[in-house]
Chains A and B, each alone.
Chain A
Amino acid sequence: DAGITQSPRHKVTETGTPVTLRCHQTENHRYMYWYRQDPGHGLRLIHYSYGVKDTDKGEVSDGYSVSRSKTEDFLLTLESATSSQTSVYFCAISEQVQETQYFGPGTRLLVL
């Protein structure tokens, strides 16, 4: 998985609780991305980062925030989890924006 880890790998939480997912890379790539994957929707971009403290919104950013305080770590926070945020979350990295994205192993999140 190109030196990308995600934690936790599985999580069950309750509606209304905050949840933070972590993506850690050892490749020193500049760009990091958070996607969610749902049946019938494919992979959709939530947020991405183009450097430390530099982030921007993707297609489905509502209800999510991100932070990147170090090159190697990109955090995704669900401020108040809802059942509609039950999904599989993938982190991806790329060296430059126009280059290939490599994906982490994913986090399965269930919001009850």
Chain B
Amino acid sequence: QKEVEQNSGPLSVPEGAIASLNCTYSDRGSQSFFWYRQYSGKSPELIMFIYSNGDKEDGRFTAQLNKASQYVSLLIRDSQPSDSATYLCAVRQAGTALIFGKGTTLSVSS
């Protein structure tokens, strides 16, 4: 069973802190990795994707990928209350399938 694992949380951080969200995956053949944000009652929206080992930065968000350890993370700098949401990690394996983790709920307190 090919799996994507996330800690369900909730992860609670104060406003202005760095939030660190983690995701592990079981299939070594996985090729691309996505982070989506989902507000309660809304649809998932893409934050960023990463294909290569290392870091990728976009504004306050940084995705980190370590294929050897089968680990992908999302860092949110200067966390804001508006960042409070569920964050979904998704991993594309060879072929079509995009496998989603169950999500981590982030709560940013003001």
Contact = CB atoms under 8 A, between A and B. Distances in A.
A97 B96 CA distance: 6
B32 A103 contact: no
Contact of A45 (B43, B44, B45, B98): B98
B43 A58 contact: no
Given A1-B43, A103-B43, A103-B44, A43 B100 contact: yes
A106 B43 contact: yes
B88 interface: yes
B45 to A, nearest CB: 7
B49 interface: yes
Interface size range on B against A: 20 to 34
A106 B45 CA distance: 12
Given A90-B43, A98-B31, A102-B46, A45 B88 contact: no
A43 B34 CA distance: 14
A59 to B, nearest CB: 8
Nearest to A101: B98
A104 B43 contact: yes
B102 A42 contact: yes
A41 interface: yes
A43 B96 contact: no
A84 interface: no
Interface in B40-63: 42-46, 49
Interface in A40-88: 40-45, 48, 50, 56, 58-59
Contacts of A41: 102
A44 B43 CA distance: 14
B90 to A, nearest CB: 8
A97 B95 CA distance: 8
Interface of A: 1, 31, 33, 40-45, 48, 50, 56, 58-59, 90, 97-98, 100-106
Given A33-B98, A45-B97, 16 more contacts: A41-B102, A42-B88, A42-B100, A42-B103, A43-B100, A44-B100, A50-B96, A90-B43, A90-B44, A98-B31, A100-B46, A103-B36, A103-B43, A103-B44, A106-B42, A106-B43
